[in-house]
Amino acid sequence: LEDTIEELQNEVRGLKNDIVVEQEKAKASERQFKAKSEELQAAKRRIRAVEEERDSWNRKFDQTLLDLERESMSKGDVEQTCLRIKQNTEAFDEMKAGLERQLGEERSRNAELLAELNKPREDAETQVYIYTSLGEVQTDLSYQYLENSMRLNEDVGRRERLDALKGASRFVE
C-alpha cells in the first residue's frame, strides 16, 4: 500500500507538474490572446480610419463629379452660344456684303442720274417770230360777274362749275 501511495503521490506530483505546465501554457495562450486582441483592436481602428478616409475621398469625388458636370453644361452652353453668334455673324456678313453691293450700284446709278441732270449749258441764240392774233378772253372781272349772278348761285352743280372756273384762272409759271 505504501507503494501504491507513493506511486499515487508520484503520479500526483507528475500531474501537478503537468498542471503547472498547462497553466503556463494557458497563461502564454492568454497573453497571445490579449496581444492578438490588441492587434485586432488596432486593425479595427486602422480600418475605421481608412473607411473615414475612403468616405472623405468619395465625398470629394462626388463633389468633383458634380463640378465637372456643371462645367460641362456651362461649356456646352458657351459652345452653343458661340455657334449661334458665329452663324449670326456669317448671316450679318452676307447681308452686309449684299447691302454694300446694292449701295455701290445705287451710288453708280446716282452718279449717272446726276450726270444726266447736270448737262453742260452753253449760251445760244435763236431768232423767233411770234405770230399773234386777236381773240376774246375772259378777265377776272367777268369771273366776278359770274360769281355774283343769281342764276349761278341757285343752280344745281354751281359749286363744281365755280371751282372749275376758279381753277381756270390759275397759271403755272
DSSP secondary structure string for all residues of 68-92: HHHHHHHHHHHHHHHHHHHHHHHHH
- Ranking 22-26, 29-33, 61-65, 125-129 by mean pLDDT, the lowest is 125-129
Rounded to an integer, the average pLDDT of 142-169 is: 69
Residue 39 pLDDT exceeds 70: yes
Q: What is the pLDDT of residues 90-99, one digit of tens each?
A: 999 999 999 9
The model scores a pTM over 0.75: no
pLDDT number for residue 141: 59
Query: Phi/psi of residue 133, each to 5°?
Result: -145, 165
Distance, in Å, from the CA atom of 76 to the CA atom of 83, rounded to the nearest integer, reads 10
Interior/surface letters 126-150, b for 16+ CB within 10 angstroms, e for the rest: eeeeeeeeeeeeeeeeeeeeeeeee
pLDDT number for residue 4: 84
The dihedral built from the CA positions of residue 159, 162, 164 and 167, taken in this order, carries a sign that is negative
pLDDT number for residue 173: 47
pLDDT band at 50 (very low <50, low <70, confident <90, very high): very high
